């Protein structure tokens, strides 16, 4: 007698969401830039086929075992962008524009370029900071090499590509330094599907600082994908801030390809959304690459935040440093899975990976799994993880010197968080990130009074 396999509600919701995506795709694809007769149309079709073959990730997928997308699948997010009703519009968070940051700002509202909120100043010759949709409409073939690179892409990245429409295009020519920060801000104003695609190309020996920022109180679903290509000797400082509303869902991917001698520095801060998933991959395509990544995530209530990282030391003499810190309160859950792979022949690789988690309540949960896969014999690699609570001796020390219980807890919690931000060299940006984190800490009021 054959066994009866019953479909779980989450699986059924995922299947129904996939059917909605298939139904919406023809109408959406016809409106997107580069829809006819270009490689972009083929790229979208192939991506949709990959997504249909895999469907939405489920807990049965090893990389998604702790993160359930049933909440996404159960909501009617996948629709043609123009179908969003004006009645769902939320006020725009203009404070998220970071007016005091200076430099260049490229703004998007619900995934579409917003020229009225953007501010691009004078730039060195050859530098391009513009809407990806405009570039695709003008000359899609010029971007084929970059957009067609699908290394490390997941099912959600395939979904992003299937509906590829707009986002940021940043091109820094060889030997050029853009001293001012480049601020890419994505604001959610409606209960929409937002799937920005960002393409950043840094030429040989170029230098730039890029801030990728997500904000807004609308119950939107953001499925973002950023591709960053660093040519030989290029240096890029990159910061991602996810500060969306408590009803939002956020899935973001960042894929970095590094050529010989390039340097990549990153600060990732995640404080918003009901569910946030961040995927990061970095591939050392040349010798002597460097990647330094600092991550900080704060969650409370029933928030869920998940980070999956992978650094491929594919060539010799690469150096990577990953330090992630999580602060979890209420019934929130934090997930960290970091993997460093040292490939055969990648001798003299130097890698360090740590995950530290602070639990502020008995009901908070942290699942952390740092991993090393080493296939070379001349390496220096280490990893570690901790999950704990505030130190009672340190609390006693502060109480003995006149601090009340709330202030003492605030100071220790903030000290744990702030160490992840100290490496940000741009002072106005660091101040904005500190304020974003302070606003999410459970004892923010006493701490703000002390500061």
Backbone dihedral region of 205: left (phi > 0), alpha (psi from -120 to 50 degrees) or beta?
Answer: left
Asked which of 5-9, 118-122, 181-185, 219-223 is least confident by mean pLDDT, the reply is 5-9
> How far is the C-alpha of 267 from the C-alpha of 257, rounded, in Å?
17
C-alpha dihedral sign at 73, 79, 85, 86: positive
**pTM for the complete prediction?**
0.91
> How far is the C-alpha of 276 from the C-alpha of 259, rounded, in Å?
30
pLDDT of res. 2: 46
Residue 35's pLDDT band (boundaries 50, 70, 90)?
low
Which tokens go with 371? 């991993």
Q: What is the mean pLDDT of residues 247-253?
A: 94
pLDDT of res. 441: 75
> How far is the C-alpha of 287 from the C-alpha of 280, rounded, in Å?
20
Q: Please report where in the chains the tokens 């988690």 appear, as a residue.
A: 357
Residue 86's pLDDT band (boundaries 50, 70, 90)?
very low
Q: Tell me the per-residue pLDDT of 149-195, one tens digit each, with 9 for 90 and over.
A: 988 788 999 999 988 889 999 999 999 999 999 999 999 999 888 99
């Amino acid at each position: 007698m054959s066994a009866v396999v019953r479909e779980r509600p989450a699986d059924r919701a995922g299947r129904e969401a996939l059917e909605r995506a298939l139904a919406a795709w023809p109408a959406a694809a016809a409106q997107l830039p580069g829809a006819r007769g270009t490689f972009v149309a083929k790229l979208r079709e192939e991506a949709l086929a990959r997504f249909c073959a895999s469907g939405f990730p489920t807990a049965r997928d090893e990389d998604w075992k702790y993160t359930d997308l049933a909440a996404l699948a159960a909501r009617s997010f996948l629709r043609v962008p123009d179908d969003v009703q004006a009645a769902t519009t939320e006020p725009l968070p203009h404070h998220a524009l970071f007016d005091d940051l200076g430099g260049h700002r490229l703004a998007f509202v619900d995934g579409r370029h917003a020229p009225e909120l953007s501010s691009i100043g004078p730039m060195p010759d050859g530098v391009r900071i513009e809407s990806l949709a405009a570039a695709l409409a003008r000359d899609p073939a010029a971007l084929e090499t970059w957009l067609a690179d699908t290394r490390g892409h997941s099912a959600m990245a395939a979904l992003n590509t299937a509906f590829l429409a707009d986002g940021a295009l940043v091109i820094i020519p060889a030997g050029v330094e853009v001293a001012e920060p480049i601020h890419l801000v994505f604001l959610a104003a409606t209960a929409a599907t937002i799937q920005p695609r960002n393409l950043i190309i840094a030429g040989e020996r170029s230098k730039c600082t890029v801030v990728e920022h997500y904000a807004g109180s609308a119950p939107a679903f953001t499925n973002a994908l950023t591709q960053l290509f660093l040519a030989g000797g290029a240096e890029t400082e990159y910061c991602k801030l996810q500060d969306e509303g408590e009803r939002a869902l956020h899935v973001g991917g960042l894929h970095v390809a590094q050529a010989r001698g390039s340097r990549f520095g990153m600060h990732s801060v995640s404080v918003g959304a009901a569910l946030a998933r961040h995927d990061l991959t970095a591939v050392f395509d040349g010798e002597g690459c460097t990647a330094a990544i600092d991550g900080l995530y704060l969650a409370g209530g029933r928030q869920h935040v998940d980070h999956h990282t992978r650094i491929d030391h594919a060539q010799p003499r690469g150096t990577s440093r990953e330090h992630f810190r999580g602060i979890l309160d209420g019934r929130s859950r934090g997930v960290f899975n970091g993997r460093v792979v040292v490939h055969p022949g990648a001798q003299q690789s130097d890698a360090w990976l740590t995950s530290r988690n602070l639990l502020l309540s008995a009901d908070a949960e942290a699942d952390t799994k740092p991993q090393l896969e080493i296939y070379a014999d001349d390496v220096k690699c280490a990893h570690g993880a901790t999950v704990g609570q505030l130190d009672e001796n340190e609390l006693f020390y502060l109480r003995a010197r006149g601090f009340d219980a709330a202030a003492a807890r605030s100071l220790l919690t903030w000290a744990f968080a702030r160490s992840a931000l100290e490496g940000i060299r741009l002072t106005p940006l660091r101040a904005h990130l500190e304020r974003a984190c302070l606003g999410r800490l459970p004892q923010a009021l006493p701490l703000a009074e002390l500061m």
